Amino acid sequence: MTLVKKMIAEFVGTMLLVLFGCGAAVAVNSVSAFTDGGMYVFIALAFGLTLMLLAYAFGDVSGTHVNPAVSLGMLIAGRMKIKEFICYVLAQFAGGIAGGALLLVFFSKDTGLGTNGYKAASALNASLLQALLIECILTFAFVLLILFVTDKPERSSIAGLIIGLALAVIHVVGLPFTGTSVNPARSLGPAIFAGGTALAQVWVFLVAPLAGGAIAALVYRFLKAKKEDKKEIGQ
């Protein structure tokens, strides 16, 4: 598969993840019939199911990273080249921005467009430190799972399902703290068009997920090395 085709898949995939995931968040928040608990579940399912469908649609093309933190994890884990990584990240951020623009077509800027935030922008009034920690930890868990689930070809048939479910669970945990980012491209796109507090705070949702993805890759490499050592001893 050519790099251009991979970039197109990453662009389209990220755009759709932002549109459907953040769009669901805005739509659900505008319907008073949803209780807070129900709201979180529906938003989590929107993100998780969207990623699962994208994984099965574009998995054979680009691997469906649709997330710079995932691509960084793949790079550090030795499963991507630097040129490919740069192209993926550019396509993902472009897709996130395109998704944010589409959200603005369907929803008012005043809805927040599904942006992330802390303090007054957080349901739990999470502090800056709490936001950094929750995003780093959740991204660490998410990327680590992706690295292990996708490192064997025989798991390819169920990888999309597992990854989508993992993203849904992570959203349930993170939504009341920050709105759950774990994806810099997903956060930057809507924040650009929402502006204000969302744009001022977006750096948290760029830095923390990338840190979490990098740490996950280092842990993955360490654990895989331990496994290889045990295999050699067993021989």
Predicted local distance difference test score (pLDDT) of residue 232:
52
Cβ-defined contacts of 23-27 (< 8 Å, 24+): 23/103, 23/106, 23/107, 23/114, 24/114, 25/114, 25/179, 26/103, 26/107, 26/111, 26/112, 26/113, 26/114, 27/107
Give the architecture-level CATH label for domain 3-234.
Answer: Up-down Bundle (1.20)
- Helical spans, DSSP H, in the chain: 3-17, 23-29, 36-62, 68-76, 82-106, 128-149, 156-178, 184-194, 196-201, 204-234
Q: Which pTM was predicted?
A: 0.93
The helix/strand/coil state of 193 is helix
Predicted local distance difference test score (pLDDT) of residue 40:
85
Predicted local distance difference test score (pLDDT) of residue 34:
55
Domain locations in the chain as residue ranges:
3-234
Predicted local distance difference test score (pLDDT) of residue 63:
94
**Tokens found for residue 184:** 């810099």
Predicted local distance difference test score (pLDDT) of residue 32:
54
Given a contact cutoff of 8 angstroms between Cβ atoms, the answer to whether 76 and 214 are in contact is yes
Predicted local distance difference test score (pLDDT) of residue 35:
55
Residues of the chain with pLDDT under 50: none
